[in-house]
Each structure stands twice: as structure tokens, then as C-alpha cells.
């Protein structure tokens, strides 16, 4: 099946970004076969099905480098007891109860809903970090099924932690990693780890052994709060990154999430081990945990990507949050204009490539056909030189009209085609009160 997405403003991104007015992207099967002027593409591919993208901008689908689908049912819930006054209390009173309260049906709904939100926001690839100690074994299969049903791409892992039971979740990761193997470009697997402060040396050793044997990276929260750093200093006599590196967790395929409370020597170690970092500005502000040393990480050529940490599935608003946060935090209106888009548009594709073995984030002949087609009438000239200005101040508030992943149209004219959004949300509203009740009893 060949499709011409035509008459739009095509922004190719990639190392040689081109802005093509009256552009067309031709897809065949799962890949892009040609990109160019609409009239020319009409001549070359007259038989292709035409999708009119007039009044729209055509971009590569976005990538979210850190998500928590399982957090969905906490939306709107009143947290029992006194308000949490710090990060550890937020975990203890909220997230470490949400994960334990989830049943099989909750897990499926909890990922179907953010997957729909991903489609709505043009996010076509997600790296998720899952926890459900009450329904652990087989949980990654439930998520895989939901991802395949929606048609998106996802890298999945289960969060190993000693907080409920020693080494809880190791087998679930190992089983799933072996099942996925090298992956098919749609589903990938990682070794999921909660964070240094809930993981013993013994558990880390087992996890790293499996990750090394199977050739996957580790996906772990690092120094999100000062408590993680202090725990590591107190118990192991070294800061978090040094401890994790000593245990073998770092490496080119591994993802260190947050990295807020780290020092210069830890940044040097992240750079030396080619470990990637994922920044989640909205979550950091929401939890009031601090500001990541983003500019210092980038100065060392560390691949820093962008995630939402479960806050949303909207990567453009997350990009703008990074832009605003680091201008304010550095008291410098000269920074973050290039850096914030770089996380999303350049670094997330690099991170995804290490997971999926394919190059995403670019509209080019031979690239995977993942597209975000957004309603946008530029009020000023739009070209290669000023694209980022349109991205940060215009596209961030524009609406995605059509989303394509693996060559399949998942949303067209804002209608989700692969799932019944209304029915799924209704079922979630039915089950949420029971989940909240189980949680209150924990
Ligand atoms: Zn997280």
C-alpha cells in the first residue's frame, strides 16, 4: 500500500533539515520511499492514495524517552492522609501504593489511555518504565499487547526494587527480554530498575548479569531527589552514579533518568561510559526535586533525551518546559533555545536507535514511516533558519491532526482509528473507584 501525504509543509529534521513548502511524503508499507515536491511526487506515484495535508506541517513522529503508563488511574485521585512534604513521601503515599493496587484490567487500561494520548500528540515511540507488584508476572505482555493494538512503538521494562520483596521483578524482566530478543522494530525490552536507594548490591548484581548476558541496557532513576544521593553516600561511601557504575549499570544502552543531584565527577563518569540521561522537566517541577544540570551534561556531549515521567504524552509541551525551566534556572535568556529542541529532535532518536536498532526522527527515503501531521498556518516565513522559533512559540500549541506509525494511519482528522477512546475511558472510570479503594486500604 502506497500513500502520498501531500500539499503540506514538510520539515524533514535529521542532520540536514529541509523545510519543503507544498511538500509530499510517500510511504509504502512501513517505510518512507520518497520525499519531495507534491507535483513531482504526483507524477512519480500516481497510483498512491492521496492524503491532503494542506494547512498542516508534516514532522517525524515524536519520541518519549521516559514514561510511566501505570500512573494513569491516579489522575484526579485524592491522596489519603496529610499532603506529602517531600519526594520520598510522594513515593510512599502515592506511587508505591498506586503500583500495588493495580489489577490485570487496570494495567491494560492504564496503558491504553496514555497510548491514545501519545497518538493525539503525535508521539509514536515511547520508552516506558512499569511497576505493578500486585500483578507482576505477565504484566509486560499486557502492555505489549496494548502497544501492538494501538500501532505505536515501545520499549518496555519492569521496575525491579527490593522495597516489597527482595529482587521483585527480576524474573519478569528476564522473561520478557528473552521473549523480545532483538525485537522487531516495534517492541524493545530493557532491564528496569527503580533507583539506587531501593536496590541492594545483590539485586543489582543479578540484574546487571542478565542485562549483560542478553545485551540490553538498564533503565533506572538516578539522583532524582537528594535522598537517593545521601543514601548512596551513607551506605556505600560514594555518590549514586559512582555506585551504579561500580555495579555495572552504566553503558551505552543504559538510561539514567533525571540525574539532578549529581556532581562534576558523576557527570564525567556518565560521559566516559557513554550512558544516556533522560530529562523530565515537568515532573521535576511537579515533585519540587530540583533542577537538572542540563547544560553541564550537554557540555560533556552526553546524550540527554527528553521524557515526561508519566506527567503527559505531549513532547512539544515537555520541550517547552525544558526551554523555560533552564532559562529561569540559569537566569540567562541566551540559553536553552537550541538545547531544549535538541533533546527531543536529535537526542531522543539516538536513544531510540540504541533500543530499537532503527533510525527514527527523520523524514527521509528509507526511514520508518512515523509522522506527526499538525494543523499550522505559519504567521511568518517558515524556513530552515527559523524553524525552532515556530516550534517553541507556535507548534507547541498547535493540534495534531493525523498520526502515522509504521506506515499505518493511527489517527486521521483527529479521530483515533485503532482504539475506541470513549469506551476505554468509560471502562477506566468504572474501575478507578475500586482501584482507589484498594489503595486507601494499603
Ligand atoms: Zn520515572
Phi, psi of 176 (to 5 degrees): -70, -40
Output the CA 254–ligand 1 centroid distance in Å.
Answer: 14
Look at residue 93 and give its three-state secondary structure: helix
| DSSP helix/strand/coil, 380 | coil
CB 194 within 8 A of CB 102: no
Ligand 1 mean position to 166 CA, how many Å? 20
Ligand 1: distance of its center to the CA of 74 in Å? Answer: 15
Q: Tell me, in angstroms, the distance from the centre of ligand 1 to residue 129's CA.
A: 7
Alpha carbon of 302 to ligand 1 centroid (Å): 19
Ligand 1: distance of its center to the CA of 308 in Å?
Answer: 8
Contacts of residue 234, defined as CB under 8 A and 6 or more positions apart, other chains included, come to none
What is the 372 CA–ligand 1 centroid distance (Å)? 25
Residue 159 pairs with which residues in a beta bridge? none
Q: State in Å: Cα 72 to ligand 1 middle.
A: 13
Q: Rounded to an integer, what distance in angstroms lies between the CA atom of residue 258 and that of residue 294?
A: 10
> What's the gap in Å between 207 CA and the centre of ligand 1?
18
CB atoms inside a 10 Å sphere around CB 134 = 17
Predicted confidence at residue 79, as pLDDT, reads 83
> For residues 97 and 86, what is the distance between their CA atoms, to the nearest angstrom?
16
Residue 423, exposed/middle/buried by CB under 10 A (0-12, 13-18, 19+)?
Answer: exposed
DSSP 223: S
Angle between helix 201-214 and 170-180 (nearest 10)? 10
Q: How many angstroms separate the alpha carbon of residue 257 from the centre of ligand 1?
A: 7
CA–centroid distance, residue 185 to ligand 1 (Å): 23
**For residue 4, how far is its CA from the centre of ligand 1 (angstroms)?**
38
Question: What pLDDT sits at residue 355?
Answer: 94
Q: Of 57, 5, 86, which Cα lies nearest the Cα of 374? A: 57
Dist. CA 310 → ligand 1 center (Å): 7
Report how far ligand 1's centroid is from the alpha carbon of 374 (Å). Answer: 28
Distance of CA 232 from the midpoint of ligand 1 (Å): 19
Q: Distance, CA 66 to ligand 1 centroid (Å)?
A: 6
Closest CA to 42 of 59, 22, 56: 22
Query: What is the Å distance from ligand 1's center to 11 Cα?
Result: 31
79 — phi, psi (to 5°)? -80, 125
- Distance in Å, CA 190 to ligand 1 centroid: 14
Check residue 81 and give its pLDDT: 85
Residues 6 or more apart in contact with residue 21 via CB below 8 angstroms? 9
pLDDT confidence of residue 78: 87
Cell of 216: 540490553
What pLDDT sits at residue 80?
80
Distance (Å) from CA 191 to ligand 1 centroid: 14
Which burial class, exposed, middle or buried, applies to 94 when counting CB atoms under 10 A from its CB (0-12, 13-18, 19+)? Answer: middle
In the three-class reduction of DSSP (H, G, I as helix; E, B as strand; rest coil), residue 344 is classed as: helix
How many Å apart are CA 155 and CA 149, to the nearest integer? 15
DSSP calls for 180-214: HTT--SSEEE-EEEEEGGG--HHHHHHHHHHHHHH
Spacing, Cα 114 to ligand 1 middle (Å):
15
How many CA atoms are closer than 13 Å to the CA of 283, on its beta-carbon side?
Answer: 27
Partners of 154 in the beta sheet? 126, 187
For residues 124 and 121, what is the distance between their CA atoms, to the nearest angstrom? 9
CA 266 to chain centre: 24
CA of 309 to the centre of ligand 1 (A): 5
Ligand 1 center to 421 CA (angstroms):
25
Q: State the virtual CA torsion across 170, 175, 176, 182 in degrees, nearest 10.
A: 120
**In 3-state terms, what secondary structure has residue 371?**
strand
Please report, in angstroms and rounded to a whole number, the separation of the first and last CA atoms in the chain. Answer: 52
CA 179–ligand 1 middle distance (angstroms): 24
- How far away, in angstroms, is 22 Cα from ligand 1 center? 40
From ligand 1's centre to the CA of 351, what distance in Å? 16
User: At residue 138, what are phi and psi to the nearest 5 degrees?
Assistant: 90, -5
CA of 204 from ligand 1 middle (Å) equals 18
List average pLDDT for each run of 10 residues in the chain, which is 442 residues long: 97 96 98 98 98 98 97 89 90 91 94 98 98 95 98 98 93 98 96 98 98 98 98 98 98 98 98 98 97 98 98 98 98 98 98 97 98 98 98 98 98 96 96 92 89
Query: Ligand 1 centroid vs 284 CA: distance in angstroms?
Result: 10
- Sign of the dihedral defined by the CA atoms of residues 315, 320, 324, 326, in that order: positive
The residue written with cell numbers 500516481 in the block is 46
Ligand 1 centroid, distance to 329 Cα (angstroms): 22
C-alpha pair distances (Å), 360 with each of 13, 31, 102, 384: 10, 11, 33, 20
**DSSP string over 389-400:** HHHHHTGGGSPE
Cα–Cα distance list, 196 to 153, 193, 347 (Å): 28, 8, 25
Q: How far is the CA of 307 from the centre of ligand 1 (A)?
A: 9
β-pairing verdict for 218-222 and 31-37: unpaired
**pLDDT of res. 82:** 87
Amino acid at each position: 500500500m502506497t500513500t502520498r501525504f501531500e500539499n503540506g509543509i514538510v520539515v524533514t529534521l535529521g542532520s540536514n533539515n529541509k523545510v519543503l513548502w507544498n511538500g509530499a511524503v510517500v510511504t509504502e508499507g512501513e517505510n518512507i520511499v520518497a520525499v519531495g515536491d507534491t507535483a513531482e511526487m504526483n507524477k512519480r506515484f500516481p497510483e498512491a492514495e492521496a492524503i491532503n495535508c494542506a494547512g498542516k506541517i508534516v514532522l517525524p513522529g515524536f519520541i518519549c524517552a521516559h514514561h510511566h503508563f501505570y500512573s494513569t488511574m491516579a489522575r484526579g485521585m485524592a491522596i489519603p492522609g496529610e499532603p506529602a512534604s517531600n519526594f520520598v513521601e510522594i513515593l510512599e503515599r502515592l506511587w508505591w501504593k498506586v503500583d500495588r493496587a493495580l489489577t490485570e484490567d487496570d494495567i491494560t487500561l492504564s496503558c491504553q489511555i496514555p497510548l491514545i494520548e501519545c497518538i493525539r500528540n503525535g508521539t509514536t515511540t515511547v520508552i516506558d518504565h512499569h511497576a505493578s507488584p500486585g500483578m507482576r508476572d505477565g504484566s509486560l505482555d499486557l502492555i505489549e499487547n496494548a502497544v501492538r493494538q494501538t500501532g505505536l512503538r515501545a520499549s518496555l521494562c519492569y521496575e525491579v526494587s527490593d522495597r516489597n520483596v527482595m529482587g521483585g521483578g527480576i524474573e519478569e524482566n528476564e522473561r520478557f527480554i528473552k521473549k523480545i530478543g532483538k525485537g522487531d522494530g516495534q517492541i524493545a525490552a530493557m532491564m528496569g530498575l527503580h533507583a539506587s536507594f531501593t536496590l541492594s548490591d545483590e539485586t543489582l548484581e543479578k540484574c546487571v548479569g542478565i542485562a549483560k548476558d542478553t545485551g540490553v541496557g538498564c533503565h533506572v532513576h538516578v539522583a532524582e531527589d537528594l535522598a537517593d544521593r545521601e543514601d548512596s553516600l551513607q551506605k556505600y561511601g560514594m555518590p549514586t552514579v559512582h555506585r551504579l557504575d561500580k555495579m555495572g549499570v552504566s553503558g551505552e544502552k543504559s538510561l539514567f533518568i533525571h540525574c539532578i543531584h549529581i556532581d562534576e565527577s558523576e557527570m564525567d563518569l556518565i560521559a566516559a561510559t557513554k550512558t544516556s540521561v533522560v530529562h523530565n522537566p515537568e515532573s521535576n517541577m511537579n515533585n519540587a526535586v530540583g533542577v537538572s544540570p542540563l547544560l553541564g551534561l550537554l557540555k560533556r556531549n552526553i546524550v540527554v533525551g527528553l521524557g515526561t515521567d508519566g506527567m503527559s504524552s505531549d513532547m512539544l509541551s515537555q520541550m517547552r518546559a525544558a526551554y523555560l525551566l533552564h532559562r529561569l534556572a540559569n537566569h540567562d535568556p541566551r540559553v536553552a533555545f537550541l538545547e531544549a529542541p535538541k533533546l527531543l529532535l536529535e537526542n531522543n532518536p539516538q536513544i531510540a536507535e540504541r533500543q530499537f536498532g532503527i533510525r527514527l526522527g527523520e523524514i527521509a527515503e528509507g526511514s520508518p514511516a512515523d509522522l506527526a501531521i499538525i494543523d499550522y498556518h505559519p504567521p511568518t516565513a517558515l524556513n530552515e533558519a527559523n524553524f525552532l522559533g515556530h516550534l517553541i512559540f507556535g507548534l507547541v500549541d498547535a493540534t495534531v491532526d493525523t498520526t502515522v506509525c509504521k506506515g499505518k494511519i493511527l489517527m486521521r482528522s483527529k479521530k483515533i482509528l485503532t482504539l475506541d477512546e470513549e469506551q476505554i475511558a468509560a471502562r477506566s472510570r468504572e474501575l478507578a473507584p475500586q482501584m482507589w479503594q484498594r489503595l486507601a486500604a494499603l
